[in-house]
Amino acid sequence: MEAYPLNCHPRYFRLTTHAIPASQSLVSRWHLPLGAVVHPLAESPDGDEVPVINFGSAGVIRCRRCRTYINPYATFADAGRKWRCNLCALLNDVPGEYFCGLDASGRRYDTDQRPELSKGTVEFVAPTEYMVRPPMPPSYFFIIDVSVSAVQSGLLEVVAKTIKSCLDELPGFPRTQIGFLTFDSTLHFHNFKSSLSQPQMMVVTDLDDVFLPLPDDLLVNLVDSRHVVESFLDSLPNMFHDNVNVESALGPALKAAFMVMSQIGGKLLVFQSTLPSLGIGRLRLRGDDVRAYGTDKEHTLRVPEDSFYKQMAAEFTKYQIAVDIFSFSDKYSDIASLGSLAKYTGGQVYHYASFQTPTHGDKLKLELSRDLTRETAWESVMRIRC
Ligand SMILES: [Zn+2]
């Protein structure tokens, strides 16, 4: 870092090799694939905060042709009235508001005061042209499996307590929205209207043609409905105490969540314990075929079998929804298929094989808290220019 102050910190962007071949003949003998680990919005290393730049009326300074952002490797010319893009070499005009004179070596006098000209990592405040719509309230929707295996493993209690302990730290206060859907062989919607003293549960049994039993109040403002949400989380561990249902209608539950969330997007957290067995998205036990292990057929077990989850993921991303999967099965669970949901939506998969609270409770608590309270980007697009 000290040797190359203009480079970004490897915490944000790191190549897989320290050196790159400089000639064609070296490339042909190199045989190593070159990759980069890109980690935008990573926590700042050593408290070294990323500077935030607001160009105001000048607009974000970018190359007219290739859209590269102004950066420390851009050079200035024509007494400071032009800047040359370091990627495509186009000579761009410097907006009047951004003009500064050059010293004898061609360096702008203000270089050291401007982080975008002297640091490898900066944040630009994006004006409205960069947004598809005004920023939506950050929203969190939870789909929770309450079939017998989920109840018996004790995970409901850990999940409910952890979510409750994170309510004050969810990003987006006071606009944060929250909602819950529980399911086994049917879908249970919960009404969190702020005028209620405790939530009302509505059961939908039609899995082929999922509909929302209420137009509003399934996803609510956390501040307004805080007491209803807390009452729900307090009662969740016991609500399904005597449940003996062994089925899972995860696919229809995902459809329902999509209908609830599609207006504003947000984060969808799925807690899944029983292999989806009813309605769309049913999965079968295919991973228990031990004969495939160690053979050239083994890789097929890692490939998604059901296209439903990939299609659903495409729908979710289109509507700015990211899906995290928490999987707890004590039997085979088709993570290869379920994982598509997280893979294509910028989410994450957490797997706790044969979850039992004494063994995995702390791990779940830690990972779920972090997932809920970490720095989170909403409605974003990632591009790499090189
Ligand atoms: Zn350019």
pLDDT confidence bin for 2, thresholds 50/70/90: low
Which is more confidently placed, 4 or 270? 270
Residue 13 dihedral angles phi and psi, to the nearest 5°? -155, 120
**How far is ligand 1, taken at its centre, from the CA of residue 40, in Å?**
22
Residue 79 dihedral angles phi and psi, to the nearest 5°? 55, 25
What residue spans define the domains of the chain? 8-47, 50-130, 139-373
Q: What is the dihedral of CA 309, 314, 320, 323, to 10 degrees?
A: 20
- Look up residue 264 and give its two tokens: 């504003």
**How far is ligand 1, taken at its centre, from the CA of residue 384, in Å?**
13
Average pLDDT rounded to a whole number, residues 292-308: 82
The CATH H-level (homologous superfamily) assignment of domain 50-130 is Zn-finger domain of Sec23/24 (2.30.30.380)
**How far is ligand 1, taken at its centre, from the CA of residue 81, in Å?**
16
**How far is ligand 1, taken at its centre, from the CA of residue 75, in Å?**
12
CA angle 191, 197, 201 (to 5 degrees): 30
- Is 80 exceeded by the pLDDT of residue 288? no
**How far is ligand 1, taken at its centre, from the CA of residue 121, in Å?**
18
| pLDDT tens per residue, range 155-173 | 999 999 999 999 999 999 9
Average pLDDT rounded to a whole number, residues 101-112: 95
pLDDT reported for residue 3:
65
- Tell me the fold of 139-373: Rossmann fold (3.40.50)
pLDDT reported for residue 224:
97
**How far is ligand 1, taken at its centre, from the CA of residue 70, in Å?**
9
**How far is ligand 1, taken at its centre, from the CA of residue 31, in Å?**
30
The b/e string for 252-274 (b: 16+ C-beta within 10 A; e otherwise) is bbbbbbbebbeebbbbbbbbbbb
pLDDT reported for residue 178:
98
**How far is ligand 1, taken at its centre, from the CA of residue 73, in Å?**
12
| pLDDT tens per residue, range 319-357 | 999 999 999 988 888 888 999 999 999 999 999 998 999
